[in-house]
Amino acid sequence: MQKGSDILEIYSRTDIGLERTENQDNVWGEMLSQNACAAVLCDGMGGESRGGLASRIAVDTVSKKIKSEFNESMSKTAVRNLLITSVIAANYAVRGCPKESANEIMGTTCVAAIVFNNTAHIVNVGDSRAYQLFTEGDDECIRQITKDHSHVRELVDKGVITEEEAKVHPKRSKITRAVGADDDVTPDYFELDLNSGDMILLCSDGLSAYGDDLDILDICFDSKPKDCCGALIGYANNNGGHDNVSVALIAV
């Protein structure tokens, strides 16, 4: 899916991968006005179809709230509050979905962004990520904006394991915060200024867990924005396609 303007471009895509029988990721991206766009990406967790249902409910809830409430007169604080309350509404919506059993686990990661007036507003819950891709002098750079809410991230922060060990840790997929997992959820919020030529990339761990940040950087800067999502999914699948993979790209 793609929509664009003379100022911003936004593209999104999801793929089942090569090993899974169901895609439990969902992603949405859309222009909100000529000067603003938004995206949300969710990676569901739960048995059978429940993870896919959780991520679909979350994407639908967040996207509908953003589309109905965003306007260009909003202050930065208002945009921040809109994103946070959208994720909280998604948490209530997933929690309210009838469970098939008392012990059923149903939840989803969530990363969402609104880009408006050269500012990126980002929220996240779980281990789906947001990256900023930018140029600094003659160098092309990538940095992870969000911080994973995961078991291995906590171990790295405590110095128990290294970043390299985290990539192959047997519990690297265990997240510590999810939309729908508890009665209340607190998303992290990030705000950053953007320059012309910058990109914001949202992705599920089907890309980040099986790829290298520098490879992701090269793919995005070597491709036209409209081709980046397909190229990144192809890269993940060429690396084994072990998981569903979803991406959303906003180019300034």
Domain over 2-251 is classified CATH 3.60.40.10 = yes
Tell me, yes or no, if the pTM score tops 0.85. Answer: yes
Beta carbons within 10 angstroms of residue 31's beta carbon: 17
Q: Tell me, what's the pLDDT at 95?
A: 94
More confident residue, 102 or 84: 84
Q: Where are the domains of the chain?
A: 2-251
pLDDT, tens digit, 9 for 90 and up, residues 73-83? 999 999 999 99
What is the average pLDDT score of the chain?
92
Q: Tell me, what's the pLDDT at 3?
A: 47
- Of the pLDDT bands very low, low, confident and very high (cuts 50, 70, 90), residue 2 is very low
> With contact defined as beta carbons under 8 Å apart, do 147 and 166 qualify?
no
Q: Tell me, what's the pLDDT at 49?
A: 63
Which tokens is 207 given?
């890309």
